[in-house]
Structure 1
Amino acid sequence: MSTEVSSVAGHCDELLDALKEFRASASLTEHWGERLVTVLAGGGRLLVAGNGGSAAQAQHLTAELVGRYRDDRPAFSAIALHADTSSTTAIANDYGVDEVFARQVSAHGRPGDVLMLLSTSGASANLLSAAEAGRAAGLRVWALTGPAPNPLVAGSDEALCVSAGSAATVQELHLVAVHMVCAAFDAALERKVN
């Protein structure tokens, strides 16, 4: 029993340590929220992708923008690329799993749109291909990753990196970042309307 308690407490300690460091660079989420207002209110879209738990975080972000975060507001175009299972599986079958997001970015992305990629490792080949496709199509590429340096940071225009020893803690702080982006988006939208 004491091993379980110390393991749980250790997880909380790791999260607290990572949060302290994360907070210093989290102002980037405010910039991203403000930038998304310009893009999305101007008719552009946000494309988001991740694998595994990061896919869940990506879909959480798009749900908050298409639906709402806290207060009622218009819907905005945000697409979680992994959520289209027919396209995802067809692309993986016909072109290989490394192209599963890149092909969708090429199809849906337009110059000026934003592509946000979430990865605990920053080394997933399908996300690196998506970043390359996004840059080629004129999208702004943002990355939420685990510790830097990593290849996804190098392939992105802007990145927010979480320095933590476990993927679970990275994902927990990615959710914090998602909520901070949404809060900044709503605040910037409110300023734009008023």
Structure 2
Amino acid sequence: MNLPVTPFDFQACLAACAQGDRRALQALYTHEGARLLGVTRRIARDDATAEDIVHDAFIRIWTRAASFDPARGSARGWIYSITRHLALNHIRDVRCEVAFDESDIDAIGAVFPGADDEAWSGSSRIYRCLEQLQPSPQRCILHAYVDGCSHIEIASLLDAPLGTVKAWIKRSLKALRECMG
């Protein structure tokens, strides 16, 4: 004789988490943790990173459970959305980290064809010109031309509107061209 399977009630579980019920979070982890880890592994392509992301996701689920709105979607979808966004943000952040050093000169140099070799050596004019930019526009240039990030990725990294990022890049390139003269 087969007993009927009762479906897991994600919405009730989130409501209990919002009330501080740790058992509800444990039940959610027991029921869905392995699947969330599988999704995250496919995105992160690294087991340790995926485990960290799932851990962070459950902390976020716990702390934001009260913000779940069933009118906007399913509770299970909300949980997966949180986990997926954390994984994608992690991948984006790792891919677009700024590490500005002398090896970056060549990458930025492609933006300014015609500059002589002396201009691109050591602590050259490009460093001085970049240092004249405000911090956020400077980061935009480095993310775009050193790290190869798209404007949308830069906007996400800097938590700035896309139009602002585009304007910063446009004005910064103009300023760099004038400075490199």
> How high is the TM-score relative to the length of structure 1?
0.27
More strand by share: 1
Larger radius of gyration: 2
TM-score, reference length from structure 2: 0.29
Q: Greater share of helix residues, 1 or 2?
A: 2
Question: Does 1 or 2 have the higher relative contact order (CA < 8 Å, sep 6+)?
Answer: 1
